[in-house]
Amino acid sequence: MTATDDEIRDILLSTRRIAVVGASDKPARPSFGVAAFLRERGYAVTPVNPGIAGRALHGATVAARLDDAAPLDMVDVFRRSSEAGAAVDEAIRLGARAVWLQLGVVDDAAGERARAAGLRFVQDRCPVIEWRRLGLPPRIGGGAA
C-alpha cells in the first residue's frame, strides 16, 4: 500500500486545498510547521482542531471539524493511528481526492477504504520531507516563492 514517487509528486502538484487535521498553534509541534510550509507553497490550508477553533493560524481560521473545512482536495492527518480511520472516513464522505497520514500514522484498513472510494492514499510520510526529496518547485504551479 505504499505510494510511488510519481503518485506523491502528482498529489502534491495537483492539490490546491488542504485540511490539516490535528493542526496545532504550538510552534514546536510538527503540524504547526507543516501547515506553515504548505501555506508558503501556495496551498489554501485550513487547520482543523476543535480545541483552537475560531482562532487564526497561518492566515486561516481554524475549523472545529473537517466538515467546516470543505470543500477540500486533500486531508493531511496528524492524529494517532488508532484515530486516523475516522478522519479518513470523513474525507471520503466529504469528497476529498487524497488522504495523507503523517509520519508514524499507519492505518492499512483506512487506506483500503480510501482507495476503494477512489481516493489517493499516503501514510507514514510527511509532505515537507517528500516535497524536498522530490525536488519540487518553490510553489505549486512552479511560481517563485
Q: How far is CA 111 from CA 38, 49, 71, in A?
A: 23, 22, 21
Dump pLDDT digits (tens) for 31-77. 999 999 999 999 999 999 999 999 999 999 999 999 999 999 999 99
Alpha-carbon span 78 to 131, nearest angstrom: 18
Contact residues for 32 (Cβ-Cβ < 8 A; gap 6+): 23, 24, 25, 26, 57
Q: Exposed, middle or buried: residue 105 (CB in 10 Å: 0-12, 13-18, 19+)?
A: buried
What domains, with CATH codes, occur in the chain?
5-137 (3.40.50.720)
- The rounded mean pLDDT for the chain is 95
